[in-house]
Structure 1
Amino acid sequence: MSRKRSPKRFLAQLVRDTARTLTPPTEPEAFLHAVCDTLSPQLDRPVRLKFVAFPPELDVSGVTFAKDDEYIVVVEDRAPGAHKFVIAGHEIGHIYYQTLDVHYPAGLPTAARRLLSQAEEDIPWERVAAMATRSPAAATAEAEWEAEECGLRLAAKFAKVVGPSAAPGRTTQDTLTDRLSSSLGNAGGL
């Protein structure tokens, strides 16, 4: 995947490729899972998406764990649908720009690696998410802005397809692709 593509072009292609795999109407979480499935072959490892209720005291709503064999994007389950797009898009932005060290300056914590090595049904996701604290000194403004731009663009473009303005039952695959392409072609904003 080329880092030189702008987030707008990167997301435009990702959305077009994802839309081709869906049968409308699509629920927000299903759409985000499909985005990760579409993105995975473009990367050095697959992207898995989890929705988890983060501990209330945690000051983050999303985190990406870069394991040797996969990326795990964890998103706050209690966030509203549109905000889930922002969170997931932000984390995808960190993967795209290869700024995961913003989250883990020294690599994936040993305790997180140990917890994530368990069987899927045994992983204490709340504990794993609680390890997602970041050092303010480790986060660069540029890396956070790039990731946030991806999140905001993802939310703005996808909400019309899977959000309240989507017309369940009346959208076809062709109109879904046309709406996404038209929306992503709008240079007027996020």
Structure 2
Amino acid sequence: MRDTVRTLTPPTSPQVFLHALCATLGPQVDRPVRLKFVAFPPGLGLSGLTLARDEEYIVVVEERAPDPHKFVITGHEIGHIHYGTLDVHHPAGLPAAARRLLARPEEEIPWERVVTLAARSSADAAAAAEWAAEECGLRLAAKFSKVVGPGAAGRMTQDTLIDRLSSSLGNIGGP
């Protein structure tokens, strides 16, 4: 994690920071974590989800969400990965139609359709799993919504960024 944070020049944008955070988490979990910002279909009722593929996790976040909320959404999805609770929405795994669409080359993936398919949950989410994931998102947002972007100018150093990231995520992000 320290090496990833050192690649960032404070202040940095929320999107750059969140991409770096997800890239850092890959070695801490069982596969790489990639972040994707996309426009979710209107009326879907959610703003983030994680697509668990055999070779990677794709954390998908609503691109129109306000920057502070992007931290909550991303952190929530990271929480599901860390706590192993992605199956609360799809106990049998990602729907086959969504998996087929994700097999396409990146530039041909219809993200709106993938999000719609993945958002259709056949099971009620377990409240405890959702709360644990939400706490992760809230911790991330509490620490970082004020330390990235223009508001961090003159206050943030790489060491401060590392310390805050480590204290916010605890064991999730490693040392």
Q: Which residue of 1 aligns with 2:5?
A: 19
Q: Which residue of 40, 44, 68 corresponds with 1:82?
A: 68
Residues 78-129 of structure 1, C-alpha deviations (whole Å, 9 max, x = no match): 0000000100100000000000001212111110000000000000001111
Matched with 2:172 is none
Match of 1:47 in 2: 33
Aligned to 2:16: 30
Which runs of 4 or more aligned residues in structure 1 lie more than 4 Å from their structure 2 counterparts after TM superposition? Answer: 181-185
Alpha-carbon distance in 1 for matches of 2:143, 2:168: 6
* CA apart distance, 1:18: 4.6
1:100 equivalent to 2:86? Answer yes
Task: State how many pairs are aligned.
Answer: 169
Shift in Å, 1:19: 2.9
- Aligned-pair CA distance for 1:36: 0.5
Alignment partner of 1:173 is 2:145: no
Note the C-alpha offset of 1:131.
1.2
What's the Cα RMSD here? 2.3
TM-score, normalised on structure 2? 0.87
Residues 108-187 of structure 1: pairs in structure 2 closer than 5 A = 108-135=94-121, 137-163=123-149, 165-167=151-153, 171-177=156-162, 180=164, 184=168
After superposition, the Cα gap between the structure-2 partners of 1:69 and 1:182, relative to the gap in structure 1 and judged at 3 Å, is closer
Question: For 2:61, what is the secondary structure of its paired residue?
Answer: strand
Deviates further, 131-140 or 75-84: 131-140
Q: Deviations over 1:45-98 (max 9, x none)?
A: 100110000001211110101100000110000000000010010000000000
Unaligned runs of 5+ in 1: 1-13, 186-190
- Give the whole-Å Cα distance in 2 for the aligned partners of 1:154 and 1:166: 16
